[in-house]
């Protein structure tokens, strides 16, 4: 942490539990219903997923209109969810301490820009964040593990990848970090994640954001 010049935070996990109040399975089901209402045939494996982002990924193989519809519907649902999202313990302290040390912070998220903005505004954290690199494109393949969103944040901040940390709770965060050349910090917020994030090569693993905030004390 003492060598870091830039702090990049995944949103859902390290910053909040976006679906704390509006559960992910409900959002996934509503997104599927929107697509089916517009004529899409949703295959069994997509019917079975509880992850709204997986439903959006599926829409990338549909017509342009259905893909656009999925993007706008998911953005609306996530922004609604942001109203009842729960701040991750330690996240606000981490931001304050990083800023006190002059470290710029960017959010790098597969969730929509408007959901991230809505949550940061609600929590009074918007001023801590230098840049939001989050989902805005209709093309699902631009989401992590693609390093696109990370590269966009690094270039906006003029940051050296090797002196930047991405804190993320998913395998795709670690994979994107490796591709972008940033230090991958795994946030193992559920049982089994220490092993899963370690297996894909996380450089460091924490089980609490308080641990990271304390490292900047
Ligand atoms: Mg996450």
Cα 166 to ligand 1 centre (Å): 11
Residue 33 and residue 104 in one domain: no
CATH code, 157: 3.40.50.1000
Residue 100 and residue 181 in one domain: yes
- State the total domains in the chain: 2
Smallest Cα–Cα separation from 114: which of 92, 83, 86, 93? 83
**pLDDT score recorded for residue 217:** 85
Residue 113 and residue 197 in one domain: yes
pLDDT in tens, 173-199: 999 999 999 999 999 999 999 999 999
pTM over 0.75: yes
Residue 74 and residue 91 in one domain: no
Residue 78 and residue 90 in one domain: no
pLDDT in tens, 146-177: 999 999 999 999 999 999 999 999 999 999 99
Cα 183 to ligand 1 centre (Å): 16
Q: Rounded to an integer, what distance in angstroms lies between the CA atom of residue 145 and that of residue 200?
A: 12
pLDDT in tens, 99-125: 999 999 999 999 999 999 999 999 999
Residue 46 and residue 134 in one domain: no
Query: What are the distances in angstroms from CA 56 to CA 89, 104, 188?
Result: 29, 30, 25
Among candidate residues 56, 82, 108, the one where a domain is terminated: 82
Mean pLDDT, residues 18-42: 98
Cα 39 to ligand 1 centre (Å): 31
Does residue 70 lie in a domain region?
A: yes
């Amino acid at each position: 942490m003492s060598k870091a010049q830039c702090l990049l935070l995944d949103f859902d996990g390290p910053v909040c539990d976006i679906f704390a109040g509006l559960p992910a399975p409900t959002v996934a089901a509503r997104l599927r219903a929107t697509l089916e209402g517009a004529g899409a045939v949703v295959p069994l494996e997509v019917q079975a997923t509880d992850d709204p982002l997986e439903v959006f990924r599926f829409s990338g193989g549909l017509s342009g209109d259905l893909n656009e519809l999925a993007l706008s519907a998911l953005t609306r649902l996530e922004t609604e969810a942001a109203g009842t999202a729960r701040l991750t313990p330690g996240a606000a302290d981490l931001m304050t301490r990083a800023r006190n040390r002059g470290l710029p912070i960017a959010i790098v998220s597969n969730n929509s820009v408007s959901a991230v903005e809505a949550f940061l505004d609600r929590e009074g954290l918007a001023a801590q964040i230098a840049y939001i690199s989050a989902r805005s494109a209709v093309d699902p393949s631009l989401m992590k593990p693609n390093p696109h969103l990370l590269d966009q944040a690094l270039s906006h901040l003029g940051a050296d990848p090797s002196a930047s940390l991405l804190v993320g709770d998913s395998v795709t965060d670690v994979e994107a970090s490796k591709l972008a050349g940033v230090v991958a910090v795994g946030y193992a917020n559920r049982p089994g994640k220490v092993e899963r994030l370690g297996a894909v090569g996380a450089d460091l693993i924490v089980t609490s954001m308080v641990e990271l905030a304390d490292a900047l004390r």
